[in-house]
Structure 1
């Protein structure tokens, strides 16, 4: 469980799930994907405002879904600087937003990039704190939590699949 190879395998699984969530909108059919293209380059405007009030739900969800990304980057790139751990988070978020725009499967929004990036920063911070508290066993702890999360997510996905048959 201490192995970074195991962490890498868990990270790959997480990336597949993240792609399913962000690009495929948790859909099981391409026909159910939204078919529109929009681009918002003004942070915390238009898409973040619903009924003249700031809608924090999507912002918080974007942050939460990227927290594991930050944790994984801290483990996998432990010997790199914090900036080099953070760059893949921003790049991945920009990539997801670009794919959504190119294939017209949703709104591409700078607010999403900001909230995803902030979630990644929170993840890096969580991993830093865990590494200070548990010193030798922090990677094992992260791998164990990630494995339980991955199994739980897989079971929930199977339940969703069965419910949609």
Structure 2
């Protein structure tokens, strides 16, 4: 029993470490913009009307959903005891913080559509965790599976970043 508990602690620590790496990557992507200066930076604008473009499935909206799915997955595991409403509030407030910082720091647009799509992405992550829990019928096994996928993804992300910095990719990093 103690040995199983020790394995669970190691698994939980790995999940926590991967979550921290994800948050750093999220910060780098959304607030530092990969270190690239875009033409719209320096302007301070806000879109307060959700989906004002009247096109729901834009590439930006889809990417916003995708980039926040891991947040829901990690929250589903690490904040297991939180009620759904508390997790939903956490997703919304984190997204609001990102949008507000983009506006305040003049590095992006404050966009209500992003609040919606980011939050939806995180909720999809929660649904994935619930589905994996049911599929494995064991929380510890599903968490280990998620850690395996997350560790692989994290390795690939770091490898791409290193290759980008070393200018070994056809994309130029500034």
Same fold (TM over 0.5): yes
**Corresponding residue number in structure 1 for 2:170:** none
TM-superposed CA distance for 1:129, in Å, is: 0.3
Report the TM-score, using the length of structure 2 for normalisation: 0.84
Q: Which has the higher strand share?
A: 1
Deviations 1:6-50 (A, max 9, x none): 11110000000011111111225xxx25221111110011xx46x
Is the partner of 2:109 in helix, strand or coil? strand
CA distance in 1, matches of 2:43, 2:166: 28
**Corresponding residue number in structure 2 for 1:108:** 110
Deviations 1:122-155 (A, max 9, x none): 0000011001111220010111111001000000
Establish whether residue 160 from structure 1 lines up as the match of residue 164 from structure 2: yes
Is the partner of 1:106 in helix, strand or coil? coil
**Corresponding residue number in structure 2 for 1:25:** 33
Unpaired runs of 5+ residues, structure 2, are 1-6, 168-172
CA distance in 2, matches of 1:110, 1:36: 17
- Note if contact 1:98-1:108 (Cα within 8 Å) is conserved in structure 2: yes
Establish whether residue 43 from structure 1 lines up as the match of residue 50 from structure 2: yes
User: What is the correspondence of 1:1-165 to structure 2 with a 5 Å cutoff?
Assistant: 2=8, 3-27=11-35, 32-33=37-38, 34-45=41-52, 48=53, 56-136=58-138, 137-163=141-167, 164=173
TM-superposed CA distance for 1:89, in Å, is: 1.2
Moved over 4 A (4+): none
Name the Cα RMSD after superposition.
Answer: 1.7
Is the partner of 2:154 in helix, strand or coil? helix
TM-superposed CA distance for 1:108, in Å, is: 0.8
More deviation, 112-121/33-42: 33-42
- Note if contact 1:73-1:86 (Cα within 8 Å) is conserved in structure 2: no
Larger CA Rg, structure 1 vs 2: 2
TM-superposed CA distance for 1:54, in Å, is: 5.8
Unpaired runs of 5+ residues, structure 1, are none
